[in-house]
Amino acid sequence: MTITTGIVYDEKFTEHSCLWDENYSENPQRYTSIINRCNSLGLIDRCIKIKTRPAFREELLTQHTAEHINLLESTQNYDENNLELVSSKYDSIYVHPSTFKQSLLAAGSSIELVKAVVDGRVQNGMAFVRPPGHHAMKSEYCGYCFFNNVAIAAQYLLDQTDIKKILIVDWDIHHGQATQQMFYDDPRVLYFSIHRYEHGQFWPNLRESDFDHVGSGNGTGFNINVPLNSTAMKNEDYLAIVHYLLIPLAIEFSPDFIIVSSGFDSAIGDPKGEMLVTPACYAHITQKLMSITNNKVVAILEGGYYLPSLAESAALTLRALLGDACPLIDALQQPCNSVMETIRNVINVHKYYWDCFKYNILADANSPSIQYNFFSEKPQVYLTRNMYSKIDTKHFDVLLNNMIIETKLFNPKTRMGLAINANKCIKYSDIYQCLQSLIGPIHVLKERQATIKEINNTLFKTKYRKQICQQFNDDFVKENPVFIMFGFFVGSLLQIIDSIFDNEIRSGISLLLSTTNTNENKDTCILNASLVSANYAIKKYSVQRVLIIEMNSNVSQSYSDEKIMIISIHNSKTDNSNKLDKNCMNISWSKKKLNDAEFTAIMHYLILPIAYEYNPELIIVSTKFELHTNEIYGVQITPNIYGYLIKWLSTLANGRLVIYEQNVNNDSNYRKECLMECSRALFSKPISKLCVKNLFTFETKNIIQDNIKNQMNTWKSLQF
C-alpha cells in the first residue's frame, strides 16, 4: 500500500568543485549532506534507484545552442587559470574539468527519472543532482548552472511521451529566469516561481522576475511570478501563497505532471535566502502538489547553501514523496503585509486568464504598482573568488538542531484501518468488497463495544451530561437496543483512536453496516459520537487539540472546550448564526449544491488557514454519504470533493485522521464512491480530478466573503 518513489543519486556528483575558492557556496558538501541525512532516516533504502546516465546531445539541443554545449565540452582539458578565465565571463559560475560530464549526468538523470514515472516504474521521485540548472539559459551559463535540468526534462516529456501539460513549481529563493524564458510562450507549461525579489535588488536583479511578466503569445497567463519583497518570511507566508495562488491555479490548469525546481535556500538559516521557512513546510507543499497529478511529482535539486537545513528539507521532501505523514509545523499566524500585497498583485494581473481569480476575494479594483529599484550595468568581468565570507551559524545550528529533535516523524506501517460496526457480516458487505477490490488488502480492526464508563467519562461540557449520566446505567442499556448499537458504534471509533495512538495505523474509517437512523431516536439524538471520541483522545492520550469537521450537519450542542475545534459546513437556511464561539464555527452555504470550484475556494480561504492556525493533533471528519436524502442540512457535494477534503486535511495532525458516518440509510453507489475516494486519499492513491472550469461566480465570492467576515476577528490567518 506504499507509494513507489524513484531516486537519483551518484557519487560522481561530488566531483564538480571550485579549484580556486574552497569557500564557494555551491560545493560537493551540499550533495553529501543530503545523502547522509536521507540515509540516517532510512529513506534511500525505501526508494527505487534510477540509474544515472549522461544526456544525449539531441536532448541538450532542445533547450541549448550547439555553441553553448561545445564551449563547456572544450573545458575538460583546461588548466586552472583557463578555467577561471572562462568562469569570469559569466555571472556566478566556476568551471572544473569534470563540469561538462557532471552536467551531462545531471540532465540525463533528470530525464531518466521523469521517464520512469511516465513508464509506471515509479509513481514519483527526487533527483539529487548537481550542478543545478534553472539559471542556465539557452546560450549562457549563469548562477552555478550549465544545463537546465528541469527544462530539458520537461521538454523531453512534451516531445517523447503522452504528457500534454506540465506544471513547473520553482521554490528556489532565486528566480529561475532561464526556465521562464524557455517556456514563456508555451501554454503546455505553467511556470510558477516563488522567489526573493526586493523590487529587483536581489539577484538575478531582473525586471522580468516581477509579477507582471505573465507570458507571451499563446503562453500569456502561463507564467506566474510570485516576487517576495522582504526577508524573514515564514511558513504562514509560503502557505498563503500555496493556498491562495498555487493550488487553485494547479487545479484549474490540471497538469499531467509536476516538476519541482527544488531549491532549499528559502529554508531557515540559509545565508542567501534570509527566510525562515522550516524544513517540514516543504513536505506539506509537496503533498498538496501530489494530490493534483495522482502523485506524478518529480523534485529536482537546485539551490540551498546552509547544509543542515538543506539536508533536512531535502530529506523531508523525499519522505513526503514516499507518502509518509507530514510532520507537524507550528501554528500559523497572520501572513505578513508584504506577501499579501504580492498575492493580490498576482491575482490582479492573472484574473483575465484564470477562472479561479476572476471573482477572487483578494482581487483589488486598483491597478497594482510596479517598482524596480536596480540600475546597474552588466560587468565585463565577473568575480570568481572571495565572494562568500565565512558566516557564524551557531544561532541557527542550535535552532535547527532543536527543531529536528522536536519534530516527530510519525509513520506506522499501516496507513488506514477499517472499523465496521457489526463486522461479523464484513465478508458479505458490498462496501467492504468494493473497497478491497479497488484499494487492495484492508486492515480491519477488531470490533468492540464502548463501555458505559468510557461514554460517561467523555460526555463532559455538553448541556446533556446530567441527563445522560442519569439515564446511563446497566438496566437502561440492557433494555435499550439502540444504545447497545451506539455502544458498538462509538467502540469502533475508540478502537481507531487507540490504534492510531499506539502507532498501529495512521488513520481510520468507521463504517456502519446497520441502516438504523439514530437521529430518529430521542435518546441517542443527544449523543455526538465525534465529541465522545475527541474527549476520549484528550483524556486517554493527553491530546491538546482535536479538530472536528462536520459535513452536512449543524453544530447541535451547546459546547465549549479549547481542546476541541468544530467546523460545521451546512446549508445556511438551517442556521441562525454563522458563529457560535471561537471553538465552534459554522460555515454556511446558501446554495443547495457545492461544486468543485466552490469547494476549492472554501478549503483554501477558510478551512485550511484556520486548521493550520489551530494546528490539531487529531482530526475527526463526521459526515453522511447520502445524496438527495438529507433534506435538513442538505448541501450536495460530489464524491471527489470528499477525496480532496480528506487529502488536504491529512497533511495536518501527522496524518492522524478519523472518518465516521453519522448514520446510514442506504448502500447507494454514491456512498460507495465517497468511501472509495476517501480511502484512496488516506492510502495516498490517485483520486479523481476536480473540475473547476467556469464554476466560480460572483455569488460564490460573496458567500465566501461573508463567511470570512464572520470569522476574521477570531482567526489571525483570515486577517488579510
Q: What does the alpha-carbon distance between residue 533 and residue 490 come to, in Å, rounded to a whole number?
A: 7
Q: What does the alpha-carbon distance between residue 599 and residue 601 come to, in Å, rounded to a whole number?
A: 5
C-alpha cell at 88: 569570469
Q: What does the alpha-carbon distance between residue 346 and residue 234 come to, in Å, rounded to a whole number?
A: 19
C-alpha cell at 340: 499579501
Beta strands in 219-345 (DSSP E): 223-228, 257-262, 297-301
| Cβ atoms of residues 115 and 18 within 8 Å | no
Q: How many residues does the chain have?
A: 720
Name the CA radius of gyration of the chain, rounded.
Answer: 27
Secondary structure (3-state) at 16: coil
Q: What does the alpha-carbon distance between residue 679 and residue 571 come to, in Å, rounded to a whole number?
A: 26
Counting beta carbons within 10 angstroms of the beta carbon of residue 523, is it exposed (0 to 12), middle (13 to 18) or buried (19 or more)?
middle
Per-position DSSP letters for 21-75, written without gaps between them = -TT-SS-HHHHHHHHHHHHHTT-GGGSEEPPP-PPPHHHHTTTS-HHHHHHHHHG
Residue 604 annotated in active site: no
CA-wise closest residue to 6 among 155, 139, 141, 109: 109
Instruction: Work out the end-to-end distance of the chain between its first and last CA atoms, rounded to an integer number of angstroms.
Output: 41
| 693 Ramachandran zone, left/alpha/beta (phi>0; psi -120 to 50) | beta
To the nearest 10°, the Cα dihedral for 280, 250, 353, 702?
A: -80
| Cβ atoms of residues 318 and 40 within 8 Å | no
| Cβ atoms of residues 83 and 96 within 8 Å | yes
CA-wise closest residue to 194 among 266, 249, 257: 266
How many helices (H) and strands (E) in the chain?
Answer: 25, 17
Question: Which of 96, 134, 135, 174 is labelled catalytic?
Answer: 135
Half-sphere exposure of 633 (CA within 13 A, CB side): 19
C-alpha cell at 700: 460564490
Residue carrying the nine cell digits 529536528: 404
Q: What positions carry a catalytic annotation?
A: 135
